[in-house]
Amino acid sequence: MEHDAVIATIEEMRRDVAAAPEIYRPGAFWEQLVEDNIDMLRREGIENLKRTVSNNYYNWLTVSLRDPQMQLAIRRWVRHPSLAPLRGRMEPASGLRTMGRPDAFELTAKAARRYRFFVGCAWEEARRQDTLGLTERLTEPQAGNPIRLWRSSRLISQDLANSIVECSFAARSGCVRDGARVAELGAGYGRLAHVFCEARELTYCIFDIPPALAVSQWYLEQVLGAGRVVRYRRWEDIEQVQAALRPGGVALFTPDQLELFPDGWFHLTQTISTLPEMPARQAEHFLAVLAAKSSQALFLKQWQRWRNEADDVELTEDQYALPAPWRLTDRRVDPIQPAFFNQLWRPDSAAVA
């Protein structure tokens, strides 16, 4: 029943996005992925999302020694050897779906050992980057049926490690604080929203297309409780929205609903692994809107260079220039995925927190 309700919500959201201005609708790359993700959800169920669609959002099934993420993990492990990534316990990883294969599969014993090592190393990196004490407090939620992997008695995951690294980087802006208003464009199943909402009492707004929007709505209700989630609906105006939003809560919107919010309403806007997957005009539009809607900081984590064949566009890091008063205050290569950059932009007028 729950599954049918999610599928119905996806269809309702799809009708609304189809009626939105074209600039907000999925481009060619995502049009195809939307169909594939809905197919995975129909066949495997929302309750298995961390073995299916999450592999199309951010989770990487890193098992090849030639994979740059694995090579970075190995180089770092050689520099700081630790038994922790070798000692982790992992259950068999079955029921997995990816775009490359038509049916569900299980990791072989060798692949599973490598995956376990990679996730263990990602967790060690999260511990090093963690400025908010999250690695001591958070565990991977069981909702969505993750590949179960323990570090001592704590359930950990690659997505949780990445989200903690991202949250700690964004916190350099001073905007990960009680009472802050944060917007994320393209949130996948809501892994980062979960970590932000556990980190501080803030208001977190997700702007996404279905099925991800319905998936994150379901997931965040599971992990935060329905009382902390303001479900997607067609709002009339910002007064109505503001009356519904509370610190400690998360709210779900289609991307065109970003226009409901006055300029500068959010303290922090952010988007991860999204813009290169869009048509050039759409990526440019969203970058400008994310800058306009934020008063204090904008966090970007994207491919340093990526060719999107479906939309016939290649986006490179130097194309992410924001106009004054925005200034790039922090930039680094992502500490877990070296093909990605992390950028933190702040306007000259932002109060130093």
Ligand X SMILES: C[S@@+](CC[C@H](N)C(=O)[O-])C[C@H]1O[C@@H](n2cnc3c(N)ncnc32)[C@H](O)[C@@H]1O
Interface with ligand X by CB under 6 A: which residues?
A: 24, 26, 30, 57-58, 185-188, 191, 207-209, 212, 255, 272-274, 277-278
Q: Considering the complex, state which of residue 139 and residue 273 has its C-beta at the smaller distance from ligand X.
A: 273
| DSSP 8-state code for residue 352 | P
Backbone angles phi, psi at 131, to 5 degrees: -100, 0
Closer by beta carbon to ligand X, 21 or else 133: 21
DSSP per position, 13-37: HHHHHHHS-GGGS--HHHHHHHHHH
Nearer to ligand X, 37 or 77 (CB): 37
Cα–Cα distance for residue pair 195/170, rounded to 1 Å = 12
CB of 309 to ligand X, least distance (A): 15
Q: Which is nearer to ligand X, 17 or 350 (CB)?
A: 17
Minimum CB distance to ligand X, residue 206 (Å) = 9
- Centroid of chain to Cα 222: 17
Distances (CA, A) of 343 to 123, 126, 303, 321: 22, 18, 11, 11
Closest to ligand X by CB, 257 or 350: 257
| CA distances for 49 relative to 211, 323, 324, angstroms | 11, 38, 41
Nearer to ligand X, 58 or 117 (CB): 58
Residue in the shown chain whose Cβ atom is closest to ligand X: 186
Give exposure, 38-52, as e/b (b: 16+ Cβ within 10 Å): bebbeebebebbbbb
Q: Where are the beta strands (DSSP E) in the chain?
A: 89-90, 149-151, 154-156, 181-185, 203-207, 229-230, 250-253, 266-272, 294-303, 305-308, 313-316, 326-333, 340-347
